[in-house]
Amino acid sequence: MNNNPSHDASIQFNAAALETPREQDNVSGAISLRRRLRRFLWHVLARQFMLLPVVALAIARLVGWRRRPIPHEGCEILLTGRFDSDNWILAHLGPLAASKECSRLWMVSTNPVPEVPKVIAIYPPKWLIKVIGATQARLLTFLLAAIRKRPHVVGGFNIMFNGIAAVIVGRLTGARSMYFCVGGPPEICDGGVHSVESLFMKMETADAVVESRLLKIVAESDTVITMGTKAVSFFCEKGIDSDLHIVPGGINPIRFQPANGDKKYDLILTGRLVNIKRIDVFLKAVQYVAKKFPDVRAIIVGDGKLRNELHSLSADMRIERNVSFAGYQDNVESWLQKSKIFVLTSDSEGLSLSVIEAMMSGLPAVVSNVGDLGDLVKDVINGYLVPRRSPEFLASHIIELLSDSKKMTAFSNAAHQSAISYTTEAITKKWDEILQKYRY
């Protein structure tokens, strides 16, 4: 490690570039008048904006159609959401469509939907996307499809804006509504200011009014699907009495399974290269590990807007020989099977599909102790839970595993066994139970 002061300053500068504006304010201790004014305006806009779905929901209650009875062959389901990978779609739609209680599933999307039995893709017209934008076109197509097809269930992934749309469309068309809380409590807490998926993060500070209006929408949902226990606890504490279920994605155990033989990479991180994933923390941990193991090899699988910055940061930290960037890959399983330890450094997560895939592939997980990761990662059994943004702790646990082959093997076996309950078949059984309730 280079102790040159100018070199350290370069690292700090590049890492600071990955911080959000709110984090940079916390570091500097100063908030400009312009930023204060901008925050105020975003709070006003967010509060007024959230009045629209509340009013729309009230109208939908008055004029909405009666619910259709579910026939013997099962219910028809209409969903929408924004997806960044085929893996994500397969993990969530595959088990749901495979349920014996589902006869057909339509997916409204602007991204290509992979072929899944009983899943039918619906795409907004290209001209509509050009005229009003991708998200607006998708949601309008979702509404029109619900009116035309009269599904028994409508659902949306993430509260903004899919979950909101699902609740309103459900009331309007007489369908049962389903909100998939993929991002966990940050989607709602403090008005969504903590969620990178929400426009409301631009408020930068908490807003109880926006949170209250979001919770009113959630309370109207017939079913809330969460990825882990913390989200369920959050909604219960907020008085939400909707039907709450923990249903993370289902993983194909044949596709994701342990592999024998030598591993090319010591460490692997999979995910989007965006601020919330804190890849800079991962790079810093690699730098610490390289002091003990100079030839340590790490691979980052994924792409995103920070790719160039992270490339530069690894060069500034002089670990470019230790870290490779694979970019987006549609065969994540093959990269996991070439690796020894899975690392995740996110500031926020639900129960990450990446963690489930890695552990099913037999990789011990060293991850930030955030969100619902503790539902699967059991400290000192199949991996380690580390305080977020703690590269030194990450590195120490990584070194511990790399230095002890017996512990590595024990953790690997435990990781695989822990992930077995998240197979496609197991999650499909959960959907059987949830959808069966709609018959009564």
Looking at residue 344, what is its pLDDT? 96
Structural domain total, the chain: 2
Looking at residue 30, what is its pLDDT? 65
Same-domain status, 332 and 195: no
Q: Could you report how far apart the first and last alpha carbons of the chain are, in Å?
A: 65
The predicted model gives 323-351 an average pLDDT of 93
Is residue 72's pLDDT more than 70?
Answer: yes
Q: In this structure, is residue 5 part of a structural domain? A: no
Q: In this structure, is residue 310 part of a structural domain? A: yes
Instruction: Please list the residues that pair with 211 across neighbouring strands.
Output: none
Same-domain status, 185 and 51: yes
Higher pLDDT pick, 253 / 83 = 253
Helical H segments across 322-364, by residue range: 332-336, 353-360
Tell me the CA distances in angstroms from 27 to 19, 39, 115, 390, one per residue in order. Answer: 10, 18, 47, 17
Is residue 45's pLDDT more than 50?
Answer: yes
Looking at residue 197, what is its pLDDT? 61
Looking at residue 351, what is its pLDDT? 86
Q: In this structure, is residue 23 part of a structural domain? A: no
**Average confidence score pLDDT of the chain:** 90
Is residue 379's pLDDT more than 50?
Answer: yes
Same-domain status, 95 and 227: yes
Query: Which letter does DSSP use for residue 114 in this model?
Result: P
Query: Which letter does DSSP use for residue 251 in this model?
Result: B
d(CA 226, CA 349): 12
Same-domain status, 428 and 405: no
Higher pLDDT pick, 31 / 332 = 332
- Per-residue pLDDT of 183-221, as tens digits, reads 889 899 999 988 766 678 889 999 999 999 999 999 999
Q: In this structure, is residue 231 part of a structural domain? A: yes
Q: Retrieve residue 230's tokens.
A: 């913390």
Same-domain status, 174 and 300: no
Q: In this structure, is residue 320 part of a structural domain? A: yes
Same-domain status, 228 and 293: no
Same-domain status, 99 and 230: yes
Looking at residue 5, what is its pLDDT? 35
Q: Which range among 13-17, 271-275, 343-347, 415-419 shows the weakest confidence by mean pLDDT?
A: 13-17
Same-domain status, 239 and 283: no
As a whole number of angstroms, the longest Cα–Cα distance in the chain is: 72
Q: Is 157 helix (H, G, I), strand (E, B) or coil?
A: strand
Same-domain status, 359 and 277: yes
Q: Retrieve residue 421's tokens.
A: 């309950």
Q: In this structure, is residue 191 part of a structural domain? A: yes
Same-domain status, 145 and 48: yes
Q: Is the Cβ–Cβ distance between 168 and 180 less than 8 Å?
A: no
Same-domain status, 210 and 339: no
For residue 407, the enclosing domain spans: 265-422
What's 82-93 look like in SS3?
Answer: CCCCHHHHHHHH
Q: Is 350 helix (H, G, I), strand (E, B) or coil?
A: coil
Is residue 233's pLDDT more than 80?
Answer: yes
Looking at residue 198, what is its pLDDT? 66
Q: Which range among 49-53, 185-189, 198-202, 317-321 shows the weakest confidence by mean pLDDT?
A: 198-202
Q: In this structure, is residue 345 part of a structural domain? A: yes
Is residue 130's pLDDT more than 70?
Answer: yes
Q: In this structure, is residue 255 part of a structural domain? A: no
The predicted model gives 237-258 an average pLDDT of 93
Higher pLDDT pick, 307 / 12 = 307
Residues 6+ apart with CB under 8 A from 42: 200, 202, 203, 204
Stated pTM of the model: 0.86
d(CA 84, CA 79): 16
Same-domain status, 280 and 309: yes
The predicted model gives 59-86 an average pLDDT of 92
Q: Is 77 helix (H, G, I), strand (E, B) or coil?
A: strand
Looking at residue 339, what is its pLDDT? 97
Total count of residues recorded for the chain = 440
Specify the CATH number for the domain of residue 226: 3.40.50.2000
- Per-residue pLDDT of 136-174, as tens digits, reads 999 999 999 999 999 999 999 999 899 999 999 999 999
Looking at residue 279, what is its pLDDT? 95
- Per-residue pLDDT of 80-106, as tens digits, reads 998 877 888 889 999 999 999 999 999
Looking at residue 29, what is its pLDDT? 53
d(CA 359, CA 368): 15
